[in-house]
Amino acid sequence: MASDEGRDGLRCAVADGVGTITIDRPAKRNAMSADMWRELPVLLDRLAADRSVRAVVLTGAGGDFCAGADISELADINRHDKGHLSTLAEEAVAAFPKPTVAAIEGFCVGGGCQLAVACDLRFAAEDARFGITPAKLGIVYPAAATARLVRLVGPSAAKYLLYSADIVDAAHALRIGLLNETVPAGTVHDRVAAFTATLTTRSLLTQCATKDIVDTIAADRPVEDLVRSWLDEVVAGGDVAEGVSAFLERRQPRFTWAGN
Decide the pairing of beta strands 181-183 and 121-125: parallel
Amino acid at 136: K
The tens digit of pLDDT for each residue in 136-192 reads 989 889 899 999 999 999 999 999 999 999 999 999 999 999 999 999 999 999 999
- pLDDT in the model for residue 78: 76
What does the CA dihedral 185, 26, 120, 190 come to, rounded to 10 degrees? -40
User: Residues in the chain with pLDDT < 50?
Assistant: 1-3, 6-7
DSSP symbols for 192-206: HHHHHHHHTTS-HHH
Supply the pTM of this predicted model.
0.92
